[in-house]
Chain A
Amino acid sequence: MPNTQISSQPKVRRLPSLRPNLIIGGLLATIVVSAVALSLVWTPYAPSEMHIADRLQGPSADYLLGTDHFGRDILSMVMIGGQNTLFASFVAVAIGVTVGTAIGLTASAFRGWVEELVMRGCDFLLAFPTILAAIMISAATGPGIHIAITAIVVYNIPVFARLTRGAANAIWARDYIAAARIAGKGRALISVRHVLPNVMNPIIVQTTISFSSAILAEAALSYLGLSVQPPAPSWGRMLNEAQPYLYQAPFLAVYPGIAIAISVFSFNLLGDGLRDLLDPKMSRAR
């Protein structure tokens, strides 16, 4: 049908719109990550250094983003505060991707009741929100960064298990898999050698998106006081500590929030851009 000609057109139109996603997302993510990386070796002030005389000051030449109620430099705290958030998100998503993908591959390789069990388990875990899981675990073991990591892992395992299983099932139906099976290769070998490389694209895209939702979750948990404990600074807790000073120093509530929003925004954009690039079939989903 002539549709072959018509349908080629939207793709042509979409091309210019996917580049900005990748470029802006990548740029912002680089800025966030480099600022946080820089804080490992240098910050304007030591984050715990108190200048009681200069407390609750607005932005100035000395303190670019102002000072908090102890007279600590906000810019330094924002830079360092990102360390815990990014670290927790990175570790949690890495574990989630690895375990979830392995489970998904296994489910797809064996099908039958294994697959059914895995999928029901995933449904169950997905219905259980990250923060609720975190609250429950922290009630049992006390707060700490491990709470954020565990909760984010628990959320991400089913996400990746489902995604991988769906994509892998489509690969198992291909002819070259049948050829490999006839050649006598085992399921595990086929999963790793043939299936995994072919399901990497959606996994990479989801990893980026999961990373941004992990940043959000960690920020919320540290705002609630369930993640990193004082005196280590974190974006979420800075916002919590800013709350009593909303009348005197409303700017305290601004910068850590901007840091969170930009981080989440950049990885979301990056994910959207990567999806357009790597996984065009899914480009409008979600």
Chain B
Amino acid sequence: MALLDIRNLTVGFDGPAGRVDLVRNVNLQIRRGEILGLLGESGSGKSLTAMAVLGLLPSRMKISGEILFQGTDLLGLSEAKLCKWRGNKLAMVFQEPLTALNPAHTIGRQVAEPLRLHKRLSRRQAHAAAVDLLARVGLPRPAERAGDFPHQLSGGQRQRVVIAIALACDPSLIIADEPTTALDTLVQRQIIELLVRLVEDMDAAMVLITHDVGLLAETADRVRVMYSGSIVESGPYDRVFEGPAHPYTRMLLQALPQGAAGTGAPLRPIPGRVPPPDCRPTGCSFRDRCPQAQADCERTPVPVELEPGHEAACLLLPQVVR
């Protein structure tokens, strides 16, 4: 059984001109010990999917589908029950470590908080555990630094603290939403390596959300590519990156500075932008930007299985794959 099983997740709101869906029919499974990359540009709906799993979407958002975590549908839980999962078995690492930490509390207190909340540790026990956690995420002199406030730390150190908060209660699933976007390139690599090592140590699973294809290399076991609220391609990392099936995935890979994995193809940025969710084209929502678009693309694409575990949602697939 999958640890997390998202079925037909749709997230939207009632706008002035009718219902607008930001996430459309997303299906996603992740098993224990696995790292899943969720790849997409800004506005593709990947962060909203993560927020939906944690139940942190604004109340005006309308959600349908199922989010099964260890067999329980999180969408059917009351807020109080959901609180018992969050920060406990289900943890999140945020994008912007400076704003994700409370400037008025010491980092030790912030790391200790989930322990006090879920494990009911005493103040002293929680503090000791927090210092251990800070050591595990590689913060130098953790006992002293626990008394520091977030503004006294560097960006990379802050992100380590955010990770320590997520790890506090030995989660089975960590959702990392662009965990390195706010950091320097050098620090990015360190943080990703740290996350991967910790997830492996704990035999947990991680959803790594990013717009950076390079970050997923040597990290993700499987990949989901999102575009305009839908998953357009999914499969094992190697299969997707060596044989991208969807035109969008191919263009994403070509936009990579290294070229598509040593093929020597020139760097080609993707023209245009993700269409706003209230004015997507009918049918395939990528067809405005797709170089291969045809009249046929006005129909709505359905996922096609190319080989076991590798799917893509493109109407031209038989020709594209060849």
Give the distance in Å from the alpha carbon of A159 to the alpha carbon of B58 in the complex. 38
- Asked if A2 and B13 sit within 8 Å, CB to CB, the answer is no
Give the distance in Å from the alpha carbon of A103 to the alpha carbon of B163 in the complex. 49
- Asked if B16 and A12 sit within 8 Å, CB to CB, the answer is yes
- Asked if A2 and B276 sit within 8 Å, CB to CB, the answer is no
Within 8 Å CB of B142, what residues of A?
Answer: none
Within 8 Å CB of A4, what residues of B?
Answer: 42-43
Judge if A60 is at the interface, Cβ distance under 8 Å: no
Q: From B13, B44, B47, B95, give the contact of A9 (CB < 8 A).
A: B13
CB distance from A101 to the nearest CB of B (A): 34
CB distance from A18 to the nearest CB of B (A): 16
Within 8 Å CB of B47, what residues of A?
Answer: 1-3
Judge if A248 is at the interface, Cβ distance under 8 Å: no
Judge if B81 is at the interface, Cβ distance under 8 Å: no
Judge if A41 is at the interface, Cβ distance under 8 Å: no
Q: How many residues of B contact A (CB 8 A)?
A: 17
Within 8 Å CB of A5, what residues of B?
Answer: 20, 22, 43, 276-277
- Asked if B48 and A2 sit within 8 Å, CB to CB, the answer is yes
- Asked if B43 and A6 sit within 8 Å, CB to CB, the answer is no
CB distance from A213 to the nearest CB of B (A): 32
Given A9-B13, A9-B15, A12-B16, A2-B44 contact (CB < 8 Å): yes
Give the distance in Å from the alpha carbon of A2 to the alpha carbon of B95 in the complex. 13
Give the distance in Å from the alpha carbon of A9 to the alpha carbon of B20 in the complex. 11
Within 8 Å CB of A3, what residues of B?
Answer: 47
- Asked if A1 and B43 sit within 8 Å, CB to CB, the answer is yes
Find the A residue at minimum CB distance from B14.
Answer: A9
Give the distance in Å from the alpha carbon of A4 to the alpha carbon of B273 in the complex. 13
CB distance from B210 to the nearest CB of A (A): 12
Within 8 Å CB of B15, what residues of A?
Answer: 9, 12
Within 8 Å CB of A2, what residues of B?
Answer: 22, 42-48
Interface residues of B in 25-71 (CB under 8 A from A): 42-48, 58, 60
Give the distance in Å from the alpha carbon of A277 to the alpha carbon of B44 in the complex. 32
Give the distance in Å from the alpha carbon of A202 to the alpha carbon of B277 in the complex. 35
Q: Which of A2, A5, A12 has the most CB of B within 10 A?
A: A2
Question: 1/0 per residue B7-24: CB within 8 Å of A?
Answer: 000000101100010100
CB distance from B33 to the nearest CB of A (A): 29
Within 8 Å CB of B277, what residues of A?
Answer: 5
Find the A residue at minimum CB distance from B48.
Answer: A2
Within 8 Å CB of A1, what residues of B?
Answer: 42-43, 47, 95
Give the distance in Å from the alpha carbon of A152 to the alpha carbon of B218 in the complex. 69
CB distance from B175 to the nearest CB of A (A): 15
Find the A residue at minimum CB distance from B277.
Answer: A5
CB distance from B198 to the nearest CB of A (A): 25
Within 8 Å CB of B42, what residues of A?
Answer: 1-2, 4
Give the distance in Å from the alpha carbon of A6 to the alpha carbon of B276 in the complex. 11
Give the distance in Å from the alpha carbon of A5 to the alpha carbon of B48 in the complex. 11
Within 8 Å CB of B45, what residues of A?
Answer: 2
Within 8 Å CB of B44, what residues of A?
Answer: 2
Give the distance in Å from the alpha carbon of A2 to the alpha carbon of B277 in the complex. 10
Give the distance in Å from the alpha carbon of A2 to the alpha carbon of B227 in the complex. 11
- Asked if B58 and A6 sit within 8 Å, CB to CB, the answer is yes
Give the distance in Å from the alpha carbon of A12 to the alpha carbon of B47 in the complex. 23
Give the distance in Å from the alpha carbon of A114 to the alpha carbon of B15 in the complex. 51
Give the distance in Å from the alpha carbon of A6 to the alpha carbon of B95 in the complex. 17
Give the distance in Å from the alpha carbon of A6 to the alpha carbon of B58 in the complex. 9
Within 8 Å CB of A12, what residues of B?
Answer: 15-16
Q: List 28 A-B contacts (CB under 8 A).
A: A1-B42, A1-B43, A1-B47, A1-B95, A2-B22, A2-B42, A2-B43, A2-B44, A2-B45, A2-B46, A2-B47, A2-B48, A3-B47, A4-B42, A4-B43, A5-B20, A5-B22, A5-B43, A5-B276, A5-B277, A6-B13, A6-B22, A6-B58, A9-B13, A9-B15, A9-B60, A12-B15, A12-B16
* Sample of 19 further A-B pairs with CB below 8 A, known A2-B44, A6-B13: A1-B42, A1-B43, A1-B95, A2-B22, A2-B43, A2-B45, A2-B46, A2-B47, A2-B48, A3-B47, A4-B42, A4-B43, A5-B22, A5-B43, A5-B276, A5-B277, A9-B13, A9-B15, A12-B16
Q: Which residues of B contact A (CB under 8 A)?
A: 13, 15-16, 20, 22, 42-48, 58, 60, 95, 276-277
Q: Which 5 pairs from chain A and chain B are nearest by CB?
A: A2-B48, A2-B43, A1-B42, A1-B47, A2-B45
